[in-house]
Structure formats: structure tokens, C-alpha cells
């Protein structure tokens, strides 16, 4: 009879995967309460909040913070954001003299950065140091006169303070640098806000001298028209035609002049302007002018005038075709036949031949 092994007291074998699956026993504190299970992501380590109780601790904190900023500046002196943070921190500590000193040191690094000037002046204005702010704006506009934003901010500050005369003086200083059209128009709007129409008119005269462009003269004429000065507005258009009649943008000027006369119920004047413009402007730049003239004749002209306008438009189309391709003989023949049979203009037919 063989020997039989007793399996009743043999402990069960544990597989490897079972060992991995067995959780660790929960850790318990001394009072018997188990700790919460650990999270996947460790909580961020945060520095404890310091509670300053007396002047000595406050002085130590400020000294330590300033040393951190100064060390950082020695490493990255060119980084303007560090300077800005340093100055704003000093401002938060109500130490305005130190904050001002930081701004001045930052400008020594790069005075050409207009954003530093803007933030510096904003610091002075926010804390109601008006004279200090004026000093900052004066220096900024002297060193960077081509940065329009500095002038706008300076003028806005003076206007908010009610110093209209001071704002006007700043505008005059700015105009000596011959800014773009927007700068001049801002000055004009400033005067109109205080109903200084004569001053605005005088500025417009200087504006068109500084920027002798069609758009500038049209603005001037519309300003006079808005104030009910029809004779002055007409004079503006006439002076503009004398100076810019051969300009590339002359078409826009003539159209505006004719529409002005049309609004004044001077249809004969408007018709003369259209015809004068069509005779003096090259055909290649008068397409819009022809369209306006035809529309004008359809509204105000008689049958003969409308036919003349349509004939002129057809003539313009043929002129444009032969100008684009002088060797297009079909276009030339059509042009001749049109003048001879439709327009029945012997002199023009001979001229086209």
C-alpha cells in the first residue's frame, strides 16, 4: 500500500499576479484614523504666508525683496519686465521715491522704448503727482517726438485736468514736427469741442499747407460747408483745383467739387466742372468721372445733354480700347465709324483718321 500525502494542512500557493494585486495595508495615525489614500499628483509646494507683526519684520522683508530684485537686475539688466515689476513693487509699498528711482534707472537702460515712458507717466498720474507726470511727458515728447501716442496721452491728461490752454500749447509743439493727417485733425477736433471755429479754420489752413493732398482740401471744404460758409467752401475747392488740378487724385477732387455745387442747386456750375474735368483729366483716370457725369445729366439735363453725355461715354470707351492696344485695327475702325455715322462729328472723324 502506497503512502498518501495529507493535503488538508498545506497552505495554498500564491501566484505572482496575485502578489501584485494585493493592496498595501492602510496607514493609520496614532489616533487610529486611517490616512487618506495618496493622490496621483503631489500637491504643489506652497510657501507659507508670512504675517508681519512689527516694523522690524517689515524692514527685513523689504530689504530681502529689494536684494532679490537687485540681484535679478544684475543678471538680466536688459529685461524691461523685471524693471517694471520692481517699480510696481516699490509702488505697492507706498515708497514712491524709490519707485521713481527705479523708473529712472530703467530709462537709462533704454530710453527709446516708449512703453516705459507710458508706464512711468501712468504711475505718476495714478498717484496724483501731476507735476511729476508733466515732467515725464515733457521729456518723453522731446526725446521721442515721432511717437504720436505720447502726445495724445499728454494732451488727454491736460484736458482731463481742465487745462485747455496747456493742451493747446502741447498741440502747437506737436504741430512743429509736422505729424500725419490724423494729428492735425485731432487738433482741429480739439478746438471744435470748445467751439473755437476760427482757430479750427486757421489750423485747417496750416494743415493743407503741410499736407497738400486732395483729401485734405476736401476735408477743409466740408468743414466750411458744415458751418454754413458756402462761399468759403467754394473758395477751398477752387484753390485746390489750381494747386492739384493735374494731380493723380484730381478725379476725386472734381467729383467732390461738382457734388458740392449740385447740393447748392448750382447745376450749371456742376455741369461746367464735369466738362472741364473731362477735358483735362487723362482718359485712363476718368472712368468714375464719366459715370458721375452721365448720372448727373440723366437727373438734371435735357435730351440733348443726355445724348452728349452718352456720346462722351462711348467715345471714352473707344479711346480706352485704342490706348490699351494701338495696333487693334478693329477698334480704330469702330471708333471712326462711330464718329462718322453715330456722332456725325466731321472734325473728330478727321482727327481719328
CA distances from 150 to 96, 233, 334 (A): 23, 34, 62
Cα within 13 Å of Cα(257), Cβ side: 31
Give the angle subtended at the CA of 192 by the CAs of 160 and 235, to the nearest 5°.
155
Which candidate, 183, 182, 125, 187, places its Cα nearest to that of 157?
A: 125
For residue 34, the 8-state DSSP code is: B
Cα separation, 5 vs 15, whole angstroms: 22
pLDDT at 11 over 90: no
pLDDT at 277: 86
Least confident of 58-62, 89-93, 261-265, 298-302: 298-302
Confidence of residue 19 (pLDDT cuts 50, 70, 90): very low
- For the segment 41-55, what is each residue's pLDDT rounded down to a tens digit? 544 566 566 666 667
Q: What are phi and psi of 2, to 5 degrees?
A: -85, 160
Confidence of residue 334 (pLDDT cuts 50, 70, 90): low
Confidence of residue 245 (pLDDT cuts 50, 70, 90): confident
pLDDT at 352 over 70: no
Amino acid at each position: 500500500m502506497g503512502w498518501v500525502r495529507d493535503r488538508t494542512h498545506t497552505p495554498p500557493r500564491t501566484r505572482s499576479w496575485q502578489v501584485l494585486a494585493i493592496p498595501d495595508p492602510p496607514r493609520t495615525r496614532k489616533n487610529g484614523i486611517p490616512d487618506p489614500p495618496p493622490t496621483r499628483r503631489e500637491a504643489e509646494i506652497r510657501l507659507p504666508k508670512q504675517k508681519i507683526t512689527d516694523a522690524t519684520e517689515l524692514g527685513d522683508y523689504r530689504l530681502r525683496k529689494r536684494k532679490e530684485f537687485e540681484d535679478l537686475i544684475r543678471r538680466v539688466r536688459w529685461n524691461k519686465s523685471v524693471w517694471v515689476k520692481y517699480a510696481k513693487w516699490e509702488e505697492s509699498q507706498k515708497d514712491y521715491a524709490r519707485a521713481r528711482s527705479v523708473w529712472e534707472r530703467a530709462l537709462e537702460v533704454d530710453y527709446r522704448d516708449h512703453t516705459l515712458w507710458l508706464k512711468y507717466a501712468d504711475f505718476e498720474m495714478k498717484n496724483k503727482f501731476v507735476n511729476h507726470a508733466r515732467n515725464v511727458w515733457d521729456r518723453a515728447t522731446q526725446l521721442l517726438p515721432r511717437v504720436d501716442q505720447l502726445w495724445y496721452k499728454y494732451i488727454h491728461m491736460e484736458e482731463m485736468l481742465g487745462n485747455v490752454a496747456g493742451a493747446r500749447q502741447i498741440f502747437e509743439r506737436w504741430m512743429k514736427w509736422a505729424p500725419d493727417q490724423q494729428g492735425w485733425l485731432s487738433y482741429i477736433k480739439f478746438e471744435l469741442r470748445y467751439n473755437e471755429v476760427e482757430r479750427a479754420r486757421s489750423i485747417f489752413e496750416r494743415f493743407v499747407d503741410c499736407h497738400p493732398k486732395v483729401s485734405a482740401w476736401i476735408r477743409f471744404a466740408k468743414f466750411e460747408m458744415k458751418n454754413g460758409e458756402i462761399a468759403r467752401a467754394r473758395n477751398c475747392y477752387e484753390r485746390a483745383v489750381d494747386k492739384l488740378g493735374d494731380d493723380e487724385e484730381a478725379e476725386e477732387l472734381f467729383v467732390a467739387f461738382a457734388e458740392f455745387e449740385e447740393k447748392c442747386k448750382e447745376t450749371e456750375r456742376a455741369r461746367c466742372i464735369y466738362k472741364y474735368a473731362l477735358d483735362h483729366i487723362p482718359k485712363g483716370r476718368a472712368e468714375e468721372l464719366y459715370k458721375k457725369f452721365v448720372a448727373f445729366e440723366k437727373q438734371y439735363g435735357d435730351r440733348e445733354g443726355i445724348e452728349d453725355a452718352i456720346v462722351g461715354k462711348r467715345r471714352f470707351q473707344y479711346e480706352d480700347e485704342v490706348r490699351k492696344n494701338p495696333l487693334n485695327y478693329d477698334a480704330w475702325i469702330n471708333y471712326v465709324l462711330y464718329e462718322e455715322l453715330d456722332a456725325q462729328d466731321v472734325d473728330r472723324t478727321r482727327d481719328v483718321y
